[in-house]
C-alpha cells in the first residue's frame, strides 16, 4: 500500500473524505464482539474503511440484510468438483464464499509442479480468492505410482512463493510418527519458510497423536467421531468440520462444539461435487446445519470466517473490521443464509445466485494428454487364486472408509474369479496411467452392487490411475481402452458398448466445461449405473469408486501395486488364511 492510499483509507475511515462505496442499513454480524449491530459499511480501494454512519460516491441500500464476512472454506480440493479453478469460483461465490484454502494434490499427483503452476495461473482468472497450499504427499504413499514424486527439494520453490500458504494435508502420518528422514525434510522445509503444515490423521490417537502434532501440524479435517475431535482439540489442533459429497462429519461433531472451544473449530467441504453444490450450496449449507443444531448464529459465522482466517494466517480478511478486505456477503437471515449480494475486494461479484464476472479460462495445455498406459490387455485382469477364501474390499455406508472382508468365492480351472450374480462381489482393478509401467493390480470388491458391465474412471484418489470395477473381464477391458481413447474421465460399459461417458481432459480429473454440464453428465451416469448396470442405490457410483484406491484411509484399498491394508501399512495377498 502506498503512502497516498493509506492516507486516503484513514481519511475515509475518519469521515473526512467520502467512501468509494457504502453499503447502507446493514445488520452487521460482528465476529469479534459476537454481537449483531446496525450500521453502514464504508469501502475504499477494496478495503473496509469503517462501519457506522457513512456517505459514499456509490451507495447500496441493504434494507436490513445481514452483512457477514465473506465465507472461507478451510480445506477443499477443487479437482474433486471435476471443474477448473475459474469454474469453482463461478459455482461457489454466489453462495457467499469469498476465499477457499485449496490443496491441489489431485492435479499434482497427475502433473507434479506443472499441475500446481496451472492451478496458480487459473486462480488469477477467478473472482474468488483461491489460496493454495503445496501438496505434501505426492504420491500419498510409496505404495503406488503417481504422475510425479515431490521430495523436499522440489517443495522448496513453492514454499518460498508468497502465493503458497504452506504445506498441504500431511497424509503420511506414519512417516511423521516414526520420523522418516524424507518426511522430516519436508517438515523442515516448511518451517524454514515459516509456512503452516496442514494435517490428516484418521484414527491416530494417544502418544502417536502427540508425535504427529508435535511436528507442528495445524489442523485436521479427518475427525469422524467426538472422541477424535476432543483428542485433537486437546493437542492444540484446529478442527475442520467437514461436510462434503461423500464424507458427512459435521453433524456428528457439532455436539462437541462449546462456547469454550468454538474458536478452534472451522468449516470445510474437502470434496464437494457440482450436484451437491448446485442442490445444497456450499458453506451456507454448513451454516444452516450449525444453526439448526443449536449453535448460536454468530458462533457459526465465526467458524466460517474469522476462525479460518486466523488459523491460516489470512490477516487481511475474516471480519468486517476497518482495514480488512471488503469481502462481504449480504444474507437474507441467519437461518437460511441465502446470499443476496456478494462483494469481493469491494466489487459486487454475485447477486441473487448469479455470478457477475465473465468466466475466462487459463491455458490447459500443460495438463492435458495425461493418460499413458503401457501394454494393457484383458489378460492382465485375470486372477490366479490359490484358494476360494479371499479378502474383499468392503464398501461401508456414509463415507470412504472400507472394511476388510473375507468371503468364499468360486474359481475356474485356472484359479480365476467367477462372478456369481447371487453374491455382491466383483473384480476391481487399478491400471497405472502415468509412467507406462504396465502395472495392473486386481482385487475383489464387495458392496458396490453392480450386476452387469463395468464402470471405469481416471479419478482414483490420490494418484489418479485408472480404476475399473465390473462383472466380467470383457467389459472391464473395453472400458479401460475407452478411457485411454477419450483421454480420461468416466465410462460406463455394458455388453462391450459405451452407454455413458464424461470426458475430463484436464489431467484426466477436470472438465473444461461448466459445473452444470458436469452435473448433468454425472446425473446421467448415476442413473445409468443404477438402472442399466445395477449399481446399488445406496452407493454413489462414481465418488465411491474414486476412493477405492486411496491407501491412507482404512481399511483395505487397491493401488497399482496391489491390495493394501492401511491398518498395517503394507500389502496383503488376496487369499485369506
Verify that 304 and 373 share a domain, yes or no.
no
Q: Is residue 286 part of a domain?
A: yes
Measured distance CA(310)–CA(304) in Å, rounded: 11
What gap in Å lies between CA 313 and CA 253, rounded to an integer? 24
Q: How far is CA 360 from the centre of its chain?
A: 23
Assigned domain for 35 exists: no
Residues 153 and 285 in one domain: yes
Do 400 and 304 lie in a common domain?
A: no
413 and 274 within one domain: no
Q: What angle do CA 193, 194, 196 make, to 5 degrees?
A: 115
Same domain for 305 and 418: no
Residue 378 lies in a domain: yes
> CA-CA distance, 194 to 389, in Å (whole number)?
52
**Residue at which a domain ends, from 275, 294, 313:** 313
Helices (H), 441-569: 473-485, 515-531, 541-546
Domain annotation covers residue 191: yes
Say how many residues make up the chain. 577
What distance in Å separates the CA atoms of residue 400 and residue 546, rounded to the nearest whole number? 9
Q: Which of 39, 44, 42, 43 is nearest to 28 (CA)?
A: 39
Question: What is the end-to-end Cα distance of the chain in Å, rounded?
Answer: 68
Angle at 573 (CA atoms; ends 490, 246), nearest 5 degrees: 35
Measured distance CA(363)–CA(369) in Å, rounded: 14
- Evaluate whether residue 56 is within a structural domain: no
What pLDDT score does 554 carry?
Answer: 87
How far apart are alpha carbons 42 and 47 in whole angstroms? Answer: 8
Same domain for 435 and 296: no
Among the candidates 313, 328, 350, a domain finishes at 313
Q: Is residue 147 part of a domain?
A: yes
Tens digit of each residue's pLDDT (9 = 90 or more) over 475-484 = 999 999 999 9
CA distances from 373 to 14, 77, 161 (A): 65, 26, 34
The segments of the chain whose pLDDT lies below 50 read none
Last residue of a domain, one of 266, 282, 313: 313
Number of domains in the chain: 2
CA-to-CA dists, residue 355 to 45, 59, 89, 359, 487, angstroms: 21, 21, 9, 9, 30
Reduce the secondary structure of 132-172 to three states and give it as a string: EEECCCCCCCCCCCCCCCCCHHHHHHHHHCCCEEEEEEECC
Distance separating alpha carbons of residues 164 and 135, to the nearest angstrom: 10
288/435 same-domain check: no
Residues 201, 279, single domain; the answer is: yes
One domain for residues 295 and 416: no
The CATH number of the domain holding residue 240 is 3.20.20.140
3-state secondary structure string across 373-392: CCCCCHHHHCCCCCCCEEEE
Rounded to 5 degrees, φ, ψ at 485 are: -65, -35
Instruction: Report how far residue 305's alpha carbon sits from residue 290's, in angstroms, rounded to the nearest whole number.
Output: 14
Domain that holds residue 282: 69-313
Query: Is 494 found in the same domain as 419?
Result: yes
Establish if 26 belongs to a structural domain. Answer: no
3-state secondary structure of 217: strand
Residue 516 belongs to a domain? yes
**Neighbour-count burial for 170-190, b at 16+ CB within 10 Å, e otherwise:** bbbbbbbbeeeeebeebbebb
Q: Indicate whether 79 and 172 sit together in one domain.
A: yes
Same domain, 265 and 404: no
Q: For residue 569, what pLDDT is reported? A: 86
pLDDT score recorded for residue 398: 67
Amino acid at each position: 500500500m502506498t503512502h497516498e492510499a493509506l492516507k486516503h483509507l484513514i481519511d475515509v475511515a475518519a469521515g473526512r473524505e467520502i467512501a468509494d462505496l457504502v453499503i447502507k442499513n446493514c445488520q452487521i454480524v460482528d465476529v469479534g464482539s459476537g454481537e449483531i449491530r446496525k450500521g453502514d459499511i464504508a469501502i475504499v480501494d477494496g478495503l473496509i474503511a469503517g462501519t457506522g454512519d457513512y456517505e459514499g460516491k456509490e451507495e447500496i441500500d441493504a434494507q436490513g440484510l445481514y452483512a457477514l464476512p465473506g465465507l472461507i472454506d478451510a480445506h477443499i480440493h477443487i479437482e474433486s468438483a471435476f471443474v477448473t479453478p475459474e469454474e469453482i469460483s463461478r459455482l461457489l461465490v454466489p453462495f457467499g464464499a469469498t476465499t477457499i484454502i485449496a490443496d491441489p494434490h489431485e492435479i499434482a499427483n497427475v502433473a507434479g509442479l506443472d499441475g500446481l503452476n496451472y492451478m496458480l495461473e487459473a486462480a488469477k482468472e477467478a473472482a474468488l480468492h483461491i489460496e493454495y497450499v503445496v501438496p505434501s504427499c505426492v504420491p500419498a504413499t510409496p505404495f503406488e505410482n503417481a504422475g510425479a514424486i515431490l521430495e523436499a527439494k522440489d517443495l522448496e520453490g513453492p514454499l518460498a512463493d508468497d502465493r503458497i500458504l504452506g504445506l498441504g494435508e500431511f497424509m503420511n502420518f506414519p512417516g511423521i510418527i516414526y520420523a522418516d528422514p524424507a518426511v522430516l525434510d519436508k517438515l523442515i522445509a516448511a518451517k524454514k519458510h515459516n509456512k503452516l503444515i496442514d494435517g490428516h490423521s484418521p484414527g491416530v490417537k494417544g502418544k502417536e497423536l502427540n508425535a504427529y502434532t508435535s511436528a507442528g501440524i495445524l489442523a485436521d479435517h479427518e475427525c469422524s467421531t467426538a472422541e477424535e475431535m476432543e483428542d485433537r482439540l486437546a493437542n492444540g489442533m484446529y478442527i475442520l468440520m467437514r461436510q462434503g459429497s461423500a464424507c458427512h462429519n459435521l453433524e456428528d461433531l457439532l455436539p462437541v462444539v462449546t462456547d469454550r472451544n468454538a474458536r478452534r473449530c472451522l468449516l470445510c467441504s474437502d470434496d464437494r461435487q457440482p450436484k451437491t453444490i448446485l442442490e445444497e450450496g456450499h458453506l451456507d449449507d454448513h451454516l444452516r446445519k450449525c444453526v439448526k443444531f443449536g449453535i448460536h448464529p454468530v458462533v457459526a459465522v465465526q467458524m466460517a470466517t474469522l476462525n479460518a482466517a486466523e488459523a491460516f494466517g489470512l490477516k487481511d480478511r475474516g471480519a468486517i473490521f476497518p482495514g480488512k478486505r471488503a469481502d462481504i456477503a449480504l444474507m437474507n437471515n441467519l437461518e437460511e443464509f441465502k446470499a443476496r449480494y456478494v462483494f469481493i475486494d469491494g466489487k459486487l461479484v454475485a447477486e441473487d445466485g448469479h455470478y457477475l464476472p465473465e468466466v475466462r479460462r487459463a491455458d490447459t495445455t500443460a495438463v492435458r494428454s495425461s493418460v499413458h498406459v503401457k501394454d494393457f490387455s484383458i489378460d492382465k485382469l485375470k486372477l490366479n487364486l490359490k484358494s476360494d477364501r479371499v479378502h474383499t474390499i468392503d464398501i461401508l455406508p456414509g463415507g470412504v472408509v472400507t472394511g476388510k472382508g473375507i468371503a468364499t468365492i468360486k474359481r475356474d480351472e485356472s484359479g480365476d474369479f467367477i462372478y456369481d450374480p447371487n453374491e455382491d462381489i466383483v473384480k476391481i482393478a487399478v491400471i497405472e496411467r502415468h509412467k507406462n509401467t504396465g502395472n495392473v493390480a486386481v482385487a475383489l470388491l464387495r458392496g458396490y452392487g453392480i450386476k452387469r458391465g463395468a464402470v471405469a474412471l481416471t479419478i482414483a484418489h490420490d494418484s489418479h490411475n485408472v480404476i475399473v470395477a465390473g462383472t466380467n473381464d470383457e467389459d472391464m477391458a473395453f472400458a479401460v481402452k475407452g478411457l485411454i481413447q477419450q483421454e480420461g474421465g468416466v465410462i460406463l460399459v455394458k455388453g462391450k458398448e459405451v452407454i455413458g461417458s464424461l470426458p475430463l481432459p484436464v489431467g484426466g480429473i477436470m472438465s473444461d466445461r461448466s459445473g452444470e454440464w458436469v452435473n448433468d453428465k454425472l446425473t446421467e451416469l448415476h442413473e445409468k449405473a443404477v438402472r442399466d448396470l445395477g449399481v446399488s442405490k445406496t452407493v454413489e457410483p462414481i465418488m465411491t469408486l474414486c476412493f477405492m484406491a486411496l491407501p491412507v484411509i482404512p481399511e483395505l484399498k487397491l493401488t497399482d501395486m496391489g491390495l493394501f491394508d492401511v491398518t498395517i501399512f503394507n500389502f496383503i495377498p488376496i487369499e485369506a488364511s
